[in-house]
């Protein structure tokens, strides 16, 4: 647990920063759909997985694509 706790905090905060950056992109462009499309295009261009299973989600630095797109479109 001494190792797992700090790692969880690090990855959790990293994902929160990604959501914050996404919302700032919406603020700069003023267009939620364009920002969402840009995320999808970036994932496709870099060949990143759209979903991850199980424990892999805990150790990801970026949120899953579907969650990021939903947050951008609906401001969550």
Residue 63 tokens read as 């949120």
pLDDT of 54: 73
pLDDT value of position 14: 94
Return d(Cα 34, Cα 21) in angstroms, integer.
15
H or E element that contains 38: helix 32-45
Global pTM value:
0.81
pLDDT in tens, 49-64: 767 777 777 788 888 8
Q: What percent of the chain has pLDDT over 70?
A: 95
Positive or negative CA dihedral for 32, 37, 40, 45? negative
Average pLDDT along the chain: 88
Q: How far is CA 68 from the centre of its chain?
A: 5
d(CA 25, CA 32): 9
Which pLDDT value is given to residue 58? 79
Structural domain harbouring 57: 4-74
Residue 1 scores a pLDDT above 80: no
User: How many folded domains does the chain comprise?
Assistant: 1
């Amino acid at each position: 647990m001494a190792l797992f706790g700090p790692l969880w905090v690090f990855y959790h905060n990293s994902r929160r920063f990604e959501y914050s950056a996404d919302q700032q992109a919406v603020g700069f462009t003023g267009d939620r759909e364009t920002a969402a499309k840009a995320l999808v295009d970036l994932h496709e261009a870099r060949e990143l997985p759209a979903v991850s299973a199980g424990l892999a989600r805990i150790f990801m630095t970026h949120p899953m694509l579907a969650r990021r797109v939903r947050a951008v479109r609906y401001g969550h």
